[in-house]
Amino acid sequence: MLKELFIKIQTDCKTYSKSELIEIEKFIKDEIIVKNEDNNYELNSKYKVAMVSVGKNLVVLEDLISEHKNIKIEFDDLNGAYDGDLVLAKRVFNPRSRTKAKIVKILDGKKNDILVYIKDKAFHTIKEDITLENKNALKYNEGDVLLVDNKSLELIKNLGNIEDPKIDEYISLYLYKEIFRLDAPLEVDASMNDPKQRVDLRDLYFCTIDPNSAKDHDDAIYFDKNENILYVAIADVSYFVKEGSALDKQAFLKSTSIYLPHKVLPMLPAALSEDMCSLKEGVDRYSYVFKMHLDLQNQSVKKAELFEAIINSHKNFSYGRIDRVIEGHLDQYSKVEKEIFDYLIPLYEITKKFRAKRLLKGYDFRTSENRLKLKNSNLESIDVETSTASHQLVEECMLLANIEASKKVNTVGIYRIHEEPAFKAISKLVDDVNILGVNVKLQSDVHDTILHIQQKAKVSMLSAEIDELIIQSQTQAKYSSKNLGHFGLGFTSYSHFTSPIRRYSDLVLHRMLKTKQTPKDIDDICSHISLNERKVDQLVWDFEDRKYARWAAQHIDEEIKVKIVDTDKARAVCYEKMFGMKVILENYKGQKLFTKLRVKIKSADIVTKVIVATVKY
């Protein structure tokens, strides 16, 4: 109530309820707000009423009206307030012109819990590493991880000790407000009794191609090589997850599955994600299918039909197996596998040509993914996964389905957009590449500039590193109700259609395509799932960085090879053995970006995830 009251006061509201006037009188007595001669209320200019937002390295007093009036304050000025509290702050005179303030009173303090650990006989918050002096800390052991009340600091739950690597999952989920994912899954009705007449495609030799460890199979493909018709079948999640149901509300809240190195925290209950919605081998499954007639001469789709169907995936393959097939190593195979290989091999050749045409407008980044391998919850090794022929085959098929789906929605839909980077970002990119010794210039437009940089990089030894710089210069892809195109892929229209088991955006799109209706709150949906996507990425990085820190703590004085990735903050990343591990160089001497160095691990903090190393000169 108080927050809404102060918003009204600051927007010159003229009418107040009786209860609001009673509250206002209390604050007039405290001289926090004053009553003017025209019977209007206004906040004393010496004070500010704001919401506290505590980040990792800073505290922000969020203005109730305009974010442009937010004020950053020091942790020492919190005065007992914490994240989410409504506070009264007093402005402090600052001769350097930047507005400063200090919290003088908590107006509406949210009773909540904080995740802390014991360090030097005191509470330290894990998120911000703020020290909270309290005699209760003396009861616990060094390194104990606790949930405590944010006001009284009384114990809510003892979660274990920071030395136990099993605690990392809880910490990351808590810090990013995803702890509800550990709750018991909702019950589901997984019966297949659709009264509608579905197109029966069970006789077609559909197959799935996924990582070895995959439990959820969103998509299956089949290619009629005689008619040049590509079928992309996607799990029909919208049949099982009805709009507005408890399942749907929970899926919206999660908005994406979380893929940790040791497990998946799915968007949908396992009964759906790993069973009834998964296109498992040899079982009938409901699917939503694109039937695309390909124009091989022009590398385009002549006609695309979309319908609800029932299919049977005749075989679930791993990427590795299909890579061997494409290379001509068929191994031993069954009659069913021969039927599939007979269309996969020519389909790969076709998708190669589609890919080549696509890359005339889009970009080919040689990206790799670090897959952390855990043993007993500790980091054991890193697998570096790169895009192979089988990945590219599947990717091109999925891109075609996503493009066709985006064409079939209304003017207002749910699009995956990626806007062109700003001129300032591209200018900086050109400067950074030149500093590396690769001579490049701004071209007539952004697209040509990036292609020019990539071509120049090919003759250097820095192709992969320069690709990293190009990716860093890009804007972030997100969801939007308006079609603004996808710059990185080079598409004028693009949506996410092919992964409704793990992405809420795809589920919403399926419903829109079936009903021809756009949700009234489509903008809110797009905003929520875009923010959640970024948050989940940060959660996974937090988890992985803590695993790296644990490994480093057990390998003090060990030598590793790193390359510098941030010259301002003396940061480097390991490029051998512990691929992706970030370190801070204690004795950095200004070497240029991407310089390769041999360093020795000096210290590692599991809570802050900071790994310090010294360069071997």
Average pLDDT over residues 24-42: 73
Contacts of 433 (CB under 8 A, 6+ apart): 440, 453, 456, 457, 466, 469
Q: How many CB atoms lie within 10 A of CB 470?
A: 21
Output the pLDDT for position 92: 79
> Which tens digit of pLDDT belongs to each residue from 542-552?
999 999 999 99
**Three-class SS string for 446-474?**
HHHHHHHHHHHHHCCCCHHHHHHHHHHCC
Categorize the per-residue pLDDT at 482 as very low, low, confident or very high, splitting at 50, 70 and 90: very high
Helix, strand, coil % in the chain, rounded to nearest 5 = 30, 30, 40
Average pLDDT over residues 253-273: 96
Output the pLDDT for position 275: 95
> Which tens digit of pLDDT belongs to each residue from 90-100?
887 766 656 67
Is residue 82 within 8 Å of residue 59, measured between CB atoms?
no
Categorize the per-residue pLDDT at 598 as very low, low, confident or very high, splitting at 50, 70 and 90: very high
Categorize the per-residue pLDDT at 338 as very low, low, confident or very high, splitting at 50, 70 and 90: very high
> Which tens digit of pLDDT belongs to each residue from 364-412?
877 789 999 999 999 999 999 999 999 999 999 999 999 999 999 978 9
Output the pLDDT for position 35: 66
pTM score: 0.89
Mean pLDDT in the chain?
92
Output the pLDDT for position 299: 97
Categorize the per-residue pLDDT at 472 as very low, low, confident or very high, splitting at 50, 70 and 90: very high
Average pLDDT over residues 152-168: 96
Amino acid at 570: A
Average pLDDT over residues 460-484: 93
Is residue 269 within 8 Å of residue 188, measured between CB atoms?
yes
Categorize the per-residue pLDDT at 32 as very low, low, confident or very high, splitting at 50, 70 and 90: confident
